[in-house]
A and B are shown apart, each in its own frame.
Chain A
Amino acid sequence: MRGALAAAAILAGAALALGQSAPKPKPGASGAAPPAAAPAARIGCVTCHLALDDARVSPPAKLFADDIHAKSGFTCANCHGGDPTTEDMDAAHDAKKGFRGKPKTADVPALCGNCHADAALIKKYNPSQRVDQLSEYKTSGHGKALAKGDATVATCISCHGAHGILPVKDSRAPVFPTRIAQTCNRCHGDAKLMADHKLPSDVYAKYAKSVHFEALTKKGDLSSPTCNSCHGNHGAAPPQVASVANVCGTCHTIFADQFKQSPHAKAFADMGLPGCVTCHENHEIVHPTDAFLSTGKDGKCSACHDAGTEGARAAAAMYRDITALKTATEKARAALEREAEAGMLVAKPQFELSKAEEDLTKARADVHLFRPYEVQQTVAGGLTIATTAKAQAAQLARERGFRRKGLGLSLVLIGLSIAALVAKIRTLGPGEKP
């Protein structure tokens, strides 16, 4: 009997693997059995599938133990159908009892949507859980391609997994912020697959060099963007030229606002150039430096503005002003640190100087207005502060000199006093005899 059961289970597993008897699930028909049925159901599917120790059918059963759905009381039958209450393989896998086996790729989004697009059902488990994933997916590049019959594109299970699905906030989950890029790269790093879709396959390699990747993975800043932050997750699609500034502006609000006010906004739109990424790249977004404004190898402006043109002169003016403030603050900071090392109290001038450093940051932001006058105004305020801080450092150095001269004079007076005392003591004699 046990052998027959095993053989039957293997056949059922093969059926699952081949995706046989998997009718398109009907939204709302389900699927979503009440969790109260869970204990008996689990005995039916998992008990046999684990006992078989078959590489095709037992891993899903093992993985499902840690699945968020299993923990919420859902069972295999909620997705695969069938009768989990019987140990008879044929009865358990009977198509008449709704058994659909392994869903086809094209059926996966709708199958998941059975529950995840059902607001009334989802509310029972997590009232704040969104229910628009399916409709978003349909607007995505993946969803559109799938609708056209391309089964190589990602569906829900490509990112979330099929049986060991973990909550998004679980750091082991493939959709946890620090792991999303690697998850996307499973397909987007596949050169052949991407070539078929006329997409680049070096996106992850470029992203791994970016400031965003560094902040996310090395500094642990989970708010730092990864793939889905710019492309969307369920509705993943590349931002269009006109919307790039808006996408970056969701985090970089000041820069985005400044860019919109700048003369570049219209010029870029007219030329069909995307906003931010024209200078900063899209995936390989490295630390911006002041040299972006220079005419050197790192210069960005010279790519469009030839030498001698108004644009080149504007870039040169902004570069000159920002460099001047940077140099002034660095020199003032170094002078104050020298005084601090010499024991002088520099907390107050250092605090004042930090305002000049804030001005430097602001001037660098003002570059996105692409109006040299704005940068110059900010730089002028910072330069005044930095000059004052440097003067304070010089004053402290003079004070230090004064202290040491005063000490020298005091020591001379003390020395003379000691000499006078010693001279007096010598006149006193050797003391009285006993």
Chain B
Amino acid sequence: MSSAAPDRGPLGAALAWVQDRIGWEGIAHLAEKKQVPIHRYTIYYYLGGMALFLFLVQVATGILLLLYYRPSASEAFESVQYIMAEVPFGWLIRSIHSWGANIFVGVIVAHMLSVFFLRAYRAPREMTWITGALLLFLALGFGFSGYLLPWNTLAFFATKVGTDVPAQLPGLGPLLSRILRGGSDVTGATLSRFYGIHVAILPAITTVLLGAHVVLVQQKGMSVPLSVESKKYRTMKFVPDFLLRDAVGWLVAVGLLAALAAFFPWELGVKADPFSPAPAGIRPEWYFLSMFQGLKYLPAEIAGVPGEMVGVLFFGLVGAVLVLVPLLDRRASRGLPSPWWNRLAVLALIGALVLTILALRPPPGAAP
């Protein structure tokens, strides 16, 4: 049955025709009904929308890059060079994609920290947190797989180091490393795999998890911090009040990305040469630096177990704890403050920050 009034003209009639067939009343009703709490922490609500926006920017720019990118060891570097130098606005698209990837990871880390410290993961939003934590790992996977795609020297050797990490896991570790590399070493086969992972496997998983995450956010509504919950607070409509404010942030993000692309086009570097020695100072993207540096400091053996294996297992444990925080933090699930989790998180953050700074120091003997 059509809900469009008979006097709305051809456009109204067309809209009514589409609505009759796909029925968006439910979505429209949800959007109209949804309320966003207003309190001193409201600003953190915008981080989720910002992360989603940046993800969509990555999807859009990534699709455009796909039109010219060639995933083979002999052509990858040249194709990115062509995108940067010859394709109209190719420099802009690639630079936004590269800068956007880094800002995207930064925003979802900030989003996750805000959710953590505001205990927004407490019941009944445990699944929202778990899907979000898994999305963070997927974002890191996007970063790791995308880093190799330009096939430059830095990415090549950083990937060699990075794909060595899973090999430290007991049991299936070496097999996992071989599967990632498509052989015993990083080669053109690794590039093909990373390309497939970057543009097909990860997007497919992300689509499912992101869909679940967004649906859960809509279903459960915005969480209110424990310190605010007992007080009276105003609310605003999600549409249009919150969405318009979100849009302001998105426009600022677009301006920032454009400025970064114009003033600091993402470097391409030198084409990877598997036969050349590893250059000094190779390191992964900033979000892997703390792990990279942490593994360096481990002794060869810890209690008879290889140090790197202990390190990788430790980081795996940290990841598992991160995903399962809502289930482990029993006080939060009962609506009580859980200061020990805060202390633990602050300690972990300081540790990660210190290790990152140490990793950013120039290598010994390098020019200042």
Contacts and interface: CB of A to CB of B under 8 A. Distances in A.
Q: Please indicate whether A and B come from the same complex rather than being unrelated chains.
A: yes
B251 A345 contact: no
Contact of A345 (B233, B240, B244, B268): B268
A418 B251 contact: yes
A344 interface: yes
B82 to A, nearest CB: 10
B240 A428 contact: yes
Given A343-B263, A418-B251, A411 B235 contact: no
Given A407-B259, A425-B241, A430 B248 contact: no
B254 interface: yes
Contact of B234 (A345, A410, A433): A433
Contacts of B232: 434
B240 A347 contact: no
A358 B248 CA distance: 55
A171 B247 CA distance: 73
B81 interface: yes
A197 interface: no
Interface string B206-240: 00000000000000000000000000111111001
A39 interface: no
B241 A434 contact: no
B205 to A, nearest CB: 33
A425 B244 contact: yes
Contacts of A410: 255, 258
A345 B259 contact: no
A305 B81 CA distance: 52
A434 B233 contact: yes
B259 A343 contact: no
Contacts, number: 72
A344 B84 CA distance: 9
Contact of A417 (B251, B259, B263, B267): B251
A343 B251 contact: no
Nearest to B240: A428
A40 interface: no
Given A411-B255, A431-B235, A434-B232, A421 B265 contact: no
Interface string A389-421: 000000000000001101100110011011001
Interface residues of A, number: 25
A428 B241 contact: yes
Given A347-B81, A403-B262, A414-B251, A431 B236 contact: yes
A345 B255 contact: no
Interface string A371-403: 000000000000000000000000000000001
B15 interface: no
A411 B241 contact: no
Contact of A432 (B92, B236, B255, B267): B236
A36 B265 CA distance: 75
A425 B249 CA distance: 13
A411 B259 contact: yes
A407 B262 CA distance: 7
> Max chain A CB contacts within 10 Å: which of B85, B259, B267?
B85
Contacts of B267: 343
A422 interface: yes
A424 interface: yes
B38 interface: yes
Contact of B241 (A404, A414, A431, A433): A431
Nearest to B42: A431
A433 to B, nearest CB: 6
B234 A430 contact: yes
B253 to A, nearest CB: 10
B262 A406 contact: yes
B91 interface: yes
Contacts of A424: 240, 244
Contacts of A2: none
Interface of B: 35, 38, 81, 84-85, 91-92, 232-237, 240-241, 244-245, 247-248, 251-252, 254-255, 258-259, 262-265, 267-268
8 contacts: A343-B264, A403-B262, A410-B255, A410-B258, A414-B255, A418-B251, A430-B38, A434-B234
Given A345-B84, A347-B268, 14 more contacts: A344-B265, A348-B81, A403-B92, A403-B262, A406-B262, A407-B262, A410-B258, A421-B244, A424-B240, A425-B241, A428-B240, A428-B244, A432-B236, A432-B237
